[in-house]
Chain A
Amino acid sequence: MNKGWEPKIIAFLCNWCSYPAADLAGVGRMQYPSNIRIIRVPCSARISANLILSALKSGADGVLVSGCHPGDCHYIDGNLYARRRFALLKNLIEFIGIEPGRVNFSWIAASEGGKFADVVKTVSALVKELGPADRMIKSF
């Protein structure tokens, strides 16, 4: 592993809960690793397997998908549909040999700035331990 290597983690955050939580963490001046690159999406149900795999293909060392807690979805049940898809997707990509910890999911409410900082710390520690991603990256 390169000395001083820092992972790049793509974070897909939902517009209604997790993105405001990131905002709150910033406003509250909570410290968290600067490894994440945030992409704001309307809902966690917007995240398809295509997007997650594209991130990995394009060189992301890790992916974090975060949405509202079950029951709190702005669109009533988007995250509940997403939960089923994520459960199956995570199992499938780990089945074919992507390391557990590369792709992560979480629920963070808009008021949970502290939890957001904690999740980013956890995820970035997980990805750091795995080292740079070498599976799925497309060599151009």
Chain B
Amino acid sequence: MSAINSKITEKIRGKAKELLASEKISAFVGFADGTLPMTSRPFIARNPEDVDRLVFNSFCVVNPAVYLPPLLKSFEPPRRPTDPPPKGPLPKVGILATGCWSRNILIQVQENQIARERVIVLGTGCRGMVDIRKVQSIIDGKEIEKAYELDDMISVSGKGFSEKIPLEDVLRDNCLSCIYPNPVIMDYSVGDQVPERKVDNRFPLVDEIESRSSDQRWEWFQNEISSCIRCYACRNVCPLCYCPTCFVDDSTPQWVGKSLDSSDTSIFHILRAFHCAGRCTNCGSCETVCPMGINMRVLTSKLTKDVIDFYGTEAGLDKEAPLPLTTYGKTDQQDFMVG
């Protein structure tokens, strides 16, 4: 295992054990080794003995902030919607956070989904997470039986092959264009700050698609979503998606039909992205968990780019600044208006 990440792992285990043992927190959200090589699964440690399973490596691809609102709620005494909120301090939860994860935690705080004082954030800088698909394409889809990481290399081996791949070649695209690798909020540091990546263009794919004609863009979009099986994994894994009833589950009116008709799939993807407008932190979970490899992050990237262009802000960086769509400017641009 890479020296940097094993140091972080040690620190996470130490701190989480200390917090759980002293009952400062009731649970800790982190990662454990998955059952397959190159996978880490989200893991909730509920007692000090669980802590030894926690790990931090380059395969922690799911944003753990998605578990925070339901987990915190599970520690509250049951009550009806009309009952007053429970009195007294409620149990706290610890969580591991890198740059984008901590931004999502901050957004959840700003949107009143979680209380900041109930979350203890263990922050670390992040050097980027690995895209398994990129690794698989490098080794021509052969089955990986063993994988371990060094500081700047990934070593994979299986039947009849063994390969060392530079980490930089297999990082996820969102990590390669990430300029916020360090946590924006944290209570304890468990890893060093990472120098910010020099990125010339944060949205290369968006720019490329924007330069196409309308017909070509439609063709690209239909082609992209044609394989969508509407499993809603991208929605379920998104830390921004916490509505009790999602628009896709509404039945009267039924915004999105249950069929695989391309118009239903198009509407699902447009609205899913639009609901993340001005909130998305580019954590890449949606893209990573997609079983069909749909690149839906390009839609949220487009919105992020427009929000920066129009309103000059980005979500989850400043806890005092309101989220872009919960506020307005008197002189917001309106060139698109007719008449």
Please give the number of chain B residues whose Cβ is less than 8 angstroms from any Cβ of chain A in the complex: 48
B328 within 8 A of A: yes
Nearest residue in A to B334 (C-beta to C-beta)?
A: A83
Proximity bits, B214-231, A CB within 8 Å = 1, else 0? 111111111000000000
Q: A53-B267, A106-B339 are in contact. Are A91 and B302 (CB under 8 A)?
A: yes
- In the complex, are the beta carbons of B328 and A84 less than 8 A apart? yes
B337 within 8 A of A: yes
B209 within 8 A of A: yes
- In the complex, are the beta carbons of B263 and A136 less than 8 A apart? yes
- In the complex, are the beta carbons of B263 and A138 less than 8 A apart? yes
- In the complex, are the beta carbons of B253 and A97 less than 8 A apart? no
Q: Which of B20-28, B139-147, B237-245, B305-313 contacts A (4 or more CB under 8 A)?
A: B305-313
- In the complex, are the beta carbons of B255 and A50 less than 8 A apart? yes
Q: Give the Cβ gap from A24 to chain B, nearest Cβ, in Å.
A: 15
- In the complex, are the beta carbons of B214 and A97 less than 8 A apart? yes
Contact pick for B336, options A86, A123, A135, CB 8 Å: A86
For the complex, give the distance between the alpha carbons of A62 and B247 in Å.
Answer: 23
Contact pick for B338, options A77, A84, A85, A106, CB 8 Å: A106
For the complex, give the distance between the alpha carbons of A135 and B266 in Å.
Answer: 10
Proximity bits, B303-339, A CB within 8 Å = 1, else 0? 1001100110000000000001110111011101111
For the complex, give the distance between the alpha carbons of A118 and B261 in Å.
Answer: 37
For the complex, give the distance between the alpha carbons of A94 and B337 in Å.
Answer: 15
Contact pick for B328, options A83, A88, A90, A139, CB 8 Å: A83
Which residues of chain B from 263 to 290 have any CB-CB distance to chain A below 8 Å in the complex?
Answer: 263-264, 266-267, 269-271, 273-274, 277-278
- In the complex, are the beta carbons of B336 and A87 less than 8 A apart? yes
B18 within 8 A of A: no
- In the complex, are the beta carbons of B332 and A80 less than 8 A apart? yes
**Please, which residues of chain B bring their CB within 8 A of the CB of A31?**
none
**Please, which residues of chain B bring their CB within 8 A of the CB of A104?**
338
For the complex, give the distance between the alpha carbons of A98 and B220 in Å.
Answer: 12
A49 within 8 A of B: yes
A100 within 8 A of B: yes
- In the complex, are the beta carbons of A53 and B271 less than 8 A apart? yes
B48 within 8 A of A: no
For the complex, give the distance between the alpha carbons of A42 and B213 in Å.
Answer: 36
**Please, which residues of chain B bring their CB within 8 A of the CB of A47?**
none
Q: A96-B217, A105-B336 are in contact. Are A80 and B330 (CB under 8 A)?
A: yes
B210 within 8 A of A: yes
A92 within 8 A of B: yes
**Please, which residues of chain A bring their CB within 8 A of the CB of B217?**
95-97
- In the complex, are the beta carbons of B210 and A122 less than 8 A apart? no
B69 within 8 A of A: no
**Please, which residues of chain A bring their CB within 8 A of the CB of B325?**
81, 84-85, 88
Q: A80-B332, A92-B273 are in contact. Are A97 and B255 (CB under 8 A)?
A: no
Which residues of chain A from 54 to 83 have any CB-CB distance to chain B below 8 Å in the complex?
Answer: 54, 57, 64, 70-71, 77, 80-81, 83
**Please, which residues of chain B bring their CB within 8 A of the CB of A96?**
217-218, 221, 266, 269-270, 299
Nearest residue in A to B277 (C-beta to C-beta)?
A: A88
- In the complex, are the beta carbons of B303 and A90 less than 8 A apart? no
Proximity bits, A93-123, B CB within 8 Å = 1, else 0? 1111111100011111000000100110011
- In the complex, are the beta carbons of A122 and B306 less than 8 A apart? no
Q: A93-B270, A96-B299, A97-B220 are in contact. Are A107 and B337 (CB under 8 A)?
A: yes
**Please, which residues of chain B bring their CB within 8 A of the CB of A115?**
339
Nearest residue in A to B213 (C-beta to C-beta)?
A: A97
Q: A87-B332, A105-B336 are in contact. Are A92 and B220 (CB under 8 A)?
A: no
Contact pick for A119, options B209, B271, B338, CB 8 Å: B338
Nearest residue in B to A122 (C-beta to C-beta)?
A: B338
Given A53-B271, A107-B334, 13 further pairs, Cβ under 8 A: A49-B270, A50-B247, A50-B255, A57-B267, A81-B326, A87-B306, A92-B270, A96-B266, A96-B270, A97-B222, A100-B214, A107-B339, A139-B261
23 contacts between A and B (CB under 8 A): A54-B267, A57-B264, A80-B328, A81-B325, A81-B328, A84-B328, A84-B332, A87-B332, A88-B307, A92-B302, A95-B206, A95-B302, A96-B217, A96-B218, A96-B221, A97-B218, A97-B221, A105-B336, A105-B337, A106-B339, A107-B334, A107-B337, A137-B263
Q: Which residues of A contact B (CB under 8 A)?
A: 49-50, 53-54, 57, 64, 70-71, 77, 80-81, 83-100, 104-108, 115, 118-119, 122-123, 135-139
